Structures are given as C-alpha cells and as structure tokens.
Amino acid sequence: MFITAGKVTKVKRKRRYKRGFPVALLVGFEDSSAVVWQVFSQVVKPFKKLELGGRRTDSQKLYSFHESVVDAIKPVLNEGVRSVVVSAPVRTNYASDFLEHIQKHHRYLLQSRGSNKASFAELTGSASNIIEVGTLVKTKQFTDLIEQTTSDEANQIINLLEKNLYRADDDIVVLYSLKEIEDNIYDRNRKNESKTEHLLLTDNYLASSKSKGRIHRLLQIAQNKKVKTRIVNSESAAGTRISQFGGMVFFSTKSL
C-alpha cells in the first residue's frame, strides 16, 4: 500500500504458486528442436529449448543435437531426479532415435547399479509448448509412465540405503532425525568429495510436519551442497520403507 498526494493506492501482490517437489524430466522432440521440461508434483516448467541446427538426415548434426540434450538434462539428473520421459509426435521416430543414442553412447545411465542410473520411458505425443504439455501430462499413459519410472528410481535408492545399513564401515553415515541431518548438512567443514549423499523423505512427512520451514530450508541447502534430494510417494514400496525411519533419512555412499 502506498500513499501519494493524499491518495491511497493498493498494490496487488503476485500470487505465488506451489510447484511441489521434483518428479521427472520430460523431453519433447520435434522435427528440428527439443524442449526439456521439469515435472513437479504441482506444475510443469520449461527448462531449456535446443535446436537441431540442420537436417535429421545429417548424422553428424543429429549426433551433436542428441549430445546437447544429454548435456542439458545431466545437471538435473545430478541433483537427484532420475526419471526421464521422452516424447515425440505420432508417426515419428524422434524419441526412439534419442533413446538409441543413449543406449549407444551413454549406456552407464541405463546400466549403473549405483546412484548414476536413470529410468527412461517413451511416450507418443507432442510436448513443444505449454498447451501440448498440459494435455500430455493429464493422460493416463503419462501418469502410468511417471509412476513406473519414479517407482523404479526410488527402489534403486532404497536398495543403496539397505546396503549401507548393514555395511561395517565407520565412514558411512545413516541419519534419521531432522536435527542430526541438519547438523551434518550445515557443517561447513565437512569434506565429502569421495561420497555421494542422499536425502530422502516422504510426501506425507513433508505435508504433515510442523517444521515445514526448516525442512524446505534443509532441502534447498542440501541441493546447493550437491546432496541428492528426493521426495517419495508415501504409498509406494520405497515410501513405506522410508516411513519406517520416521519419514526422512539421510545416508552417504562411496562415489564410484
């Protein structure tokens, strides 16, 4: 509210929307471009658009184009989102061409047994603009794919957690309480270059917690410090296991 020359002027505040927690990446291929979208639990946001810069019949151009898409999604994968849905219009092979590129040149993303593994799924449909994406993400096929890929991803991380629970290694850390996790992540002197760290919590834990502000701050700082953060559906098998630890768990693994 401002007062000028005896007049009172009301200033409308911008409404903040809830984006929710990160769920997956959606890569929409078209004839000469690709758009990468970040899929959150409440909204989908554009992340990056990439141009082919030539014809698909030019194998060198197509290779460079696919590499640029991989380079674009890698930072998000490194933050902990490991589910990728690749889409393309009907009667095209753009999505399958990209997945074949991943199979040939980035097989580690598919075969790794550790935290580097990503889950890829193919979907028919255009995703070049927000209207097309809005229609696509509402389809049962998309929601089924997301449920499957995120479930596979969460199970992979839980398997890592289970291995750490029974390892006789004093250098491996597994923590369950909010205070202990905060102390560990906020420690400015910690050096964990040789470790991969994970912070997992269920959506129910976040929704029902009386310390939402602390948790959101923790998640942000954890991401800034390269901790792989993940919010898991409470009703999934992985979510059930995390709930047995109180709804949140932090653990580290030795980097490969």
**Count of helix runs (H) and strand runs (E) in the chain:** 9, 11
83-88 and 22-29 strand pairing:
parallel
Least reliable range by pLDDT among 84-98, 185-199, 227-241: 185-199
pLDDT at 29: 98
- Residue 109's nearest CA partner among 81, 130, 146, 145 is 81
The domain segmentation of the chain, as residue ranges, is 22-155, 167-254
Q: Using the predicted structure, report yes or no on whether residue 140 has a pLDDT greater than 80.
A: yes
Least reliable range by pLDDT among 57-61, 144-148, 177-181, 243-247: 144-148
Least reliable range by pLDDT among 46-50, 67-71, 93-97, 175-179: 175-179
For residue 170, give every residue at least 6 positions away whose Cβ sits within 8 Å of its Cβ, in sequence order, or none: none
- Residue 22's nearest CA partner among 4, 44, 7, 5 is 44
CATH 3.30.420.60 corresponds to the domain 22-155? yes
Per DSSP, the three-state class of 98 is helix
For residue 16, give every residue at least 6 positions away whose Cβ sits within 8 Å of its Cβ, in sequence order, or none: none
Q: What predicted TM-score, i.e. pTM, was given to this entire model?
A: 0.70
Instruction: Pinpoint the alpha helices (H) of the chain.
Output: 59-78, 94-105, 108-111, 130-136, 140-165, 178-186, 203-208, 212-224, 237-243
CATH classification code of 167-254: 3.30.1330.30
